[in-house]
Structure 1
């Protein structure tokens, strides 16, 4: 054996439990609760892949506990007696985990009569004695006793590293004293008693002072107090405890590693490609199956070469990073003859994948650097227009190229395809071109088919075509070292852009047949495509911002913030940093004696938002701090920033609507985030005063009324709820009458408030504990309200029960219009996760249907505006609200027609109702 080699030992028994609890409840057949659980298997594969990227190795093994008793059970029959049995779902995955680890090229060891830790200890000490560096991959602190200058423990899941210094810093004793430390503290997980009432701090202090457990016991009579008495009382037990906790380093491994020097037997073998592919397909890991490639499994480097591959220089092993690449024909267009030839192909093609390369991610500011096209898989062309640098060749003039492309781009009969086409439409619009004919968007196809997965092109290509392409970071670099795309060498830039168009066409051909095969999903996809068009128009319009109004609000908020600081100092009796948890804790709990509501994970007294809200109920200082925090956030996020976000050439804010983010189908907005403007405070509502109309125009806001409750009535078909909505009643007052057993006209304001919390709480799957917290009442009383509610609205209870059953069976729920909302944890053995998924199963169809309805309304309204009122602009979509800017002459039309259009987009079992307000700014329009 030569020095400077590395052995990697994976603590398989530790990681299978962590993988099992960390991963969602994956199944071989998604949504089939009767099929084989696969989460721990996938988690194990993920861990091994992560390890490959972090460590190089010459030898490797994955060690598991064998079934049956060990020598420790003979020493102490109560050893591990308190451990719960392994869950059946996990037990069923042990065999497949062993199988896939072997297929990946690792030696798998499970030695009878000892534990995995003992096998690890034996191999680690044997290798270290030969000068080999040992990396143990484990989250188990018990292995810290093995650490020395040649043995290090890493935890890829947490990033923690335990070397000699790390162990000393974490536990207060060096690795050589870890067995003594563990013996004093005991191990509750393995049911090994230590010294009663002696914790980590006392154990470390004793060992630092006396040097070892033996020396401590020799002078046990000197230890005073209850701790000393407990130490003396457990003197006879401690040697047994130390034997149980000491990792064996002399296991007989000859039966498991016969006929070879131990470490030679751990040389990593090549992965069994065919076996891996079959395994991945069997257990439903489709993307892994596609990425297995004999080419990618070839040895990537010579022995001793650098790099981050765990198996560099020793025959690569593991999951392939990319599928075999097919031949491609990519063209860089630098002269008019090539351009005209490709333009002819574009004009003749039935569908063209189109992609822009730009100088900015800001779609309102981005300018084109180059354009690529693909008309059939494997073929693409790139037209560079603004590449620069000493090696950049002469390029066709951009204005002339765009002029030649303009008729084709603006022809709606020439069908086009893209990945996130809304961005590309903005980019072309920045050059004066309104692209028509975008009929497909692969990002939206993925969003409809597999909302719970990533939708970026790289992930889609790898998942659906087995192709792995060039990353933007690999091309341009990262962070401060990132170069503009225009400075990328042209050959690399062309390959990158052509690949994007080519892969987009590839992904479309994989996803579009899946949408065509399902009428409901095809409808949802058509809605998303139409919504993309409407959102493009909204983003392009933007909303005018009144900068002086914001400046005035910022000044007022700043004055109030300073006043609150002064008031807080007076209440505390001293100045302090209002943002310092440490100082807050000292003032709250040490100086003022406020009760400790909860502690952080590290044991510190918490002063987070929840704690402040609880304390604010009875104490003035926390209430001041809450108000201060709210105003600081409002000022920093909105009144100081909104005017800065306005585009100089328009004076308007052009928010970006992310269409493929929320799993419920709702839109999210950023730069600025319009959905998070706090409207429950007067200061927050005032921010909307800065969203204004120019002279001669006004703002109109059209909002669905109680949309999610109406959807609940539709989905549950509860007779009482349906009657309330059909009668035009105040549904919260009607609910209060039912729950409190009074007539509608006798319902008090407080009873209506309770009913409103119950109505919305049940929509979000709230239980009695959550309802009690929201209402400020006892859990028992909240449970009684819920019981009474369900007695009065049995259809709602039936809907909730049926929805949970259906979700467990299918793995997803659907909106009224067929949008699928996946619930990976719905069959999880983890109770809290499963409960969370059940709450989501109840709420998601309502949120998702509301999202579908506002998108349908947005599309229908925009179509009518184009036909009847082109001077009315839709400028925002926020939650269940559409906001318009319009001439004063169009106010009557908007008040009449917009509610009608929004109400008629769908026929539910209850009427849809939309209400319109008009004013000079957004706030006044409510």
Structure 2
């Protein structure tokens, strides 16, 4: 029997919106897409899993319906549809059309009525009909051939609900569902029903009296209390009976004959999903559509001899620019062995140069091939395009090739264009997004998991196609993204800041930093002993042994056995889906003074430091260099801040004694002919507050920095209205909290927790701050106004961050966006300033006779390795580079420290 699916599009749009309301799903320019994404995912799942013969979608038409004409208060209690959902309705209709599905939208009628009419016609024409909805009202349409297909069940598979499900729900047959609905009413649609009679009572009455008509005929048989309720609401009962009936006689032109089998337009779907930045859905369409795999005319070549190599080099030189990609044995460039290189200088044309060919391309093996490629790779007159060029630059460095700085990095360009948010910048994702091309997955060549092999073990022919495609796509992306950089006003940010930074970061990664393995070994021993002591103490508090690492066991001990909530006056301890909440923030906030909690938090801190750093750091030491080479990412943080990984050195705690002890393990290179080496730490002093003073124009803040005063003491003096010499340590500490906290969206509640003030005192404290610095409040308001108007905020150097959620009707999303809008111009500008300083400092050091080398960047701090005898000269070079990186209305200031390890340098 052919199957017809009828979808209530309006209901699915609403459900999708609210299901994803807590997400921040939006395009790079801030356009909300949550409802669109949820709708598309559900629609595609139905089409894929059910493969319906016919499929149609009905939407509520704008304006009143016949029910409103009958009862003006119909649906009057419903909240107005959220603006961000309304804005997506046309997106949703476009997606339906692109799937080749007809849309029915009839003025004066609801989608329910249209679906009811089509269902009746479908049933008559011999189809099995499935109503895609979660609305119980549709059960009045159920029959042997008409069923509900309920996908509105979070975390559960769809439920097919027929005659038995209807009887289970309403205790009656489908043709009596309207009678039950009429009696019980529906608050969501503002259908009055009979006041005081709910679902159970309505089901009982219909079961006994068959229908509303039967009930009214035999009203004298109804118990007095219930009869009085009905008699008092007779008019509403009859009205409700009219309102709940789904009209199955809607005039449709065209009607059922317009419903055709689904016919998805893959090209249109790819285009739409690219626009909405639904990368996973683009991937789905490409995978399911043979035409999406068409890669067009390709001229991919594997270089096998010297003549072919020379011809390739000549063509690339003549082109003046080319895309380059490397194939290696590792994701870590300092450990990677070269397998091959691919090049492209025109769409659809590429070459692969294997380094592991059985017959050498040129005499001399790998070294000979490198020498043959050297003129092409090192020619400063050629433009080089790459994806993650820092990786290739480092790999080339290991081969003894001193490459000029890369010209264009497609990954970095994508990040600059997108505003730094919600976009994957990998080559596979960009190929899908821009060209609808599903690249050859890396796993198809090397496998995954235990069966994964290295690229040098893959047949050259396979690697060649894969590598040529990478170079080809990178070349094409370079042209597309260059134009988008101009359109998004990001060209200067990209060319003047981010691209010059690439080789600087590459040099820092190549240098790495040395660690004291013996000190870490001693720390491990100490921490293991401390962990055991704390575990013993926790068992003592509990009066029994238990698994400290089990949240379930821990929750039972804390809240069921010891009942720590009674010790602190917490009436209702927080619960999660899996049991009692035992996360560190919650325990510290609510139960931080309880002895077992103190020991538990300390246990977790020590255990985390041990596993994350003490145990892990030695594993990152490169056996060739004896140093750690972490990776710095330019494309991770929306504010533009750098991130580090493998290992992440930016998250080493600095407030705790144990965290500080870890820094002692980072040391300079061994002493040599230059004498003793030290680490030099250069840290911007309160750069974010200085940028705030510049951006806001606040005279009090400016004067504080111009006169070199203690900004926190000065703030305390104004807030507490006392002379500077009267400021106590506590006052200064409270002022420091608010100085930094307000930039990160800290409200009175957080201020109270951080300062020890009561909530009322914290509110007053915040009010005093803004009263003392009114210009800061005005600047914050202007930033939010600009974000609401333009959809983005901007840093001093022109980095834009999209802020679509500042206009959201969802208060949580809006608050998050407002905090980010205020923070980004400050934190993002600070990130841009230190990047500019790094570029200048690297150039100054390279142009000097100094041996100092920049090793790490951690937030506002740079760490260098310096011969002690060059310390003063180096410090002056660093000071100039950092303090002259950007001209502000207040001076930039750098604090210095140095020592035989990173801890001493602070």
Task: Report the TM-score when normalising by structure 1.
Answer: 0.81
Map 1:499-578 to 2 at 5 A. Answer: 499-515=469-485, 521-578=491-548
Change (3 A) 1:129 1:882: farther
Question: Secondary structure of 1:342's partner?
Answer: helix
For residue 158 of structure 2, what is the aligned residue in structure 1?
162
For residue 261 of structure 2, what is the aligned residue in structure 1?
267
Cα displacement (A) at 1:570: 1.9
The reply on whether 1:403 has 2:340 as its aligned counterpart is no
Change (3 A) 1:379 1:103: closer
The answer for unaligned runs of 5 or more in structure 1 is 168-172, 218-228, 301-306, 310-315
Q: Deviations along 1:259-306, whole A, 9 cap, x unmatched?
A: 757xx83423565989x89x969xx948799x99xxx99xx9xxxxxx
For residue 619 of structure 1, what is the aligned residue in structure 2?
594
Change (3 A) 1:57 1:400: farther
Cα displacement (A) at 1:195: 13
Map 1:372-411 to 2 at 5 A. Answer: 372-386=342-356, 397-411=365-379
For residue 413 of structure 1, what is the aligned residue in structure 2?
381
Question: Secondary structure of 2:605's partner?
Answer: helix
Separation in structure 1 between the aligned mates of residue 667 and residue 880 of structure 2, nearest angstrom: 25
Change (3 A) 1:95 1:164: closer
For residue 825 of structure 2, what is the aligned residue in structure 1?
845
The reply on whether 1:425 has 2:419 as its aligned counterpart is no
For residue 341 of structure 2, what is the aligned residue in structure 1?
371
For residue 64 of structure 1, what is the aligned residue in structure 2?
59
Whether the 8 Å CA contact 1:187–1:194 is kept in 2: the answer is yes
Separation in structure 2 between the aligned mates of residue 691 and residue 729 of structure 1, nearest angstrom: 33
Separation in structure 2 between the aligned mates of residue 127 and residue 467 of structure 1, nearest angstrom: 39
For residue 178 of structure 1, what is the aligned residue in structure 2?
169
Separation in structure 2 between the aligned mates of residue 419 and residue 755 of structure 1, nearest angstrom: 46
The reply on whether 1:866 has 2:846 as its aligned counterpart is yes
Separation in structure 2 between the aligned mates of residue 161 and residue 370 of structure 1, nearest angstrom: 47
For residue 313 of structure 1, what is the aligned residue in structure 2?
none
Separation in structure 1 between the aligned mates of residue 784 and residue 323 of structure 2, nearest angstrom: 41
Deviates further, 133-142 or 541-550: 133-142
The reply on whether 1:360 has 2:355 as its aligned counterpart is no
Change (3 A) 1:191 1:545: farther
The reply on whether 1:730 has 2:710 as its aligned counterpart is yes
Question: Secondary structure of 2:804's partner?
Answer: coil
Whether the 8 Å CA contact 1:195–1:230 is kept in 2: the answer is no
Separation in structure 1 between the aligned mates of residue 581 and residue 228 of structure 2, nearest angstrom: 38
Cα displacement (A) at 1:662: 0.8
The reply on whether 1:668 has 2:643 as its aligned counterpart is yes
Separation in structure 1 between the aligned mates of residue 592 and residue 854 of structure 2, nearest angstrom: 42
Cα displacement (A) at 1:93: 5.3
Q: 1:84 aligns with which of 66, 79, 85?
A: 79
Change (3 A) 1:151 1:245: farther
Separation in structure 1 between the aligned mates of residue 533 and residue 185 of structure 2, nearest angstrom: 54
For residue 14 of structure 1, what is the aligned residue in structure 2?
11
The answer for unaligned runs of 5 or more in structure 2 is 173-179, 211-223, 672-676
Change (3 A) 1:891 1:90: closer
Q: Deviations along 1:718-763, whole A, 9 cap, x unmatched?
A: 1100000011111000000000000111111111111001100111
Separation in structure 1 between the aligned mates of residue 145 and residue 598 of structure 2, nearest angstrom: 54
Question: Secondary structure of 2:664's partner?
Answer: helix
Whether the 8 Å CA contact 2:15–2:152 is kept in 1: the answer is no
For residue 101 of structure 2, what is the aligned residue in structure 1?
106
Q: Deviations along 1:412-466, whole A, 9 cap, x unmatched?
A: 3333221110011122223332322422212122222223333222333444456
Cα displacement (A) at 1:487: 4.9
How many residues are treated as equivalent by the alignment? Answer: 866
Whether the 8 Å CA contact 2:65–2:109 is kept in 1: the answer is yes
For residue 588 of structure 1, what is the aligned residue in structure 2?
558
Cα displacement (A) at 1:58: 2.3
Question: Secondary structure of 2:157's partner?
Answer: strand
The reply on whether 1:351 has 2:321 as its aligned counterpart is yes
For residue 630 of structure 1, what is the aligned residue in structure 2?
605
Whether the 8 Å CA contact 1:689–1:922 is kept in 2: the answer is yes
For residue 798 of structure 1, what is the aligned residue in structure 2?
778
Separation in structure 1 between the aligned mates of residue 459 and residue 242 of structure 2, nearest angstrom: 59
Deviates further, 458-467 or 120-129: 120-129
Deviates further, 149-158 or 422-431: 149-158
Q: Deviations along 1:882-907, whole A, 9 cap, x unmatched?
A: 11122222223233332232112222
Whether the 8 Å CA contact 2:121–2:256 is kept in 1: the answer is no
For residue 890 of structure 2, what is the aligned residue in structure 1?
910
The reply on whether 1:689 has 2:664 as its aligned counterpart is yes
Question: Secondary structure of 2:376's partner?
Answer: helix
Map 1:652-801 to 2 at 5 A. Answer: 652-696=627-671, 697-801=677-781
Separation in structure 2 between the aligned mates of residue 46 and residue 725 of structure 1, nearest angstrom: 54
Separation in structure 1 between the aligned mates of residue 627 and residue 131 of structure 2, nearest angstrom: 57
Cα displacement (A) at 1:68: 6.7
For residue 406 of structure 2, what is the aligned residue in structure 1?
438
Q: What RMSD over aligned residues (CA atoms) do the two structures have, in Å?
A: 4.7
Change (3 A) 1:308 1:325: closer
Change (3 A) 1:308 1:235: farther
Cα displacement (A) at 1:633: 1.1
For residue 220 of structure 1, what is the aligned residue in structure 2?
none
Question: Secondary structure of 1:737's partner?
Answer: helix
Separation in structure 1 between the aligned mates of residue 232 and residue 623 of structure 2, nearest angstrom: 78
Change (3 A) 1:437 1:914: closer
Q: Deviations along 1:378-425, whole A, 9 cap, x unmatched?
A: 3211112337xxxx9987643332221123323433332211100111
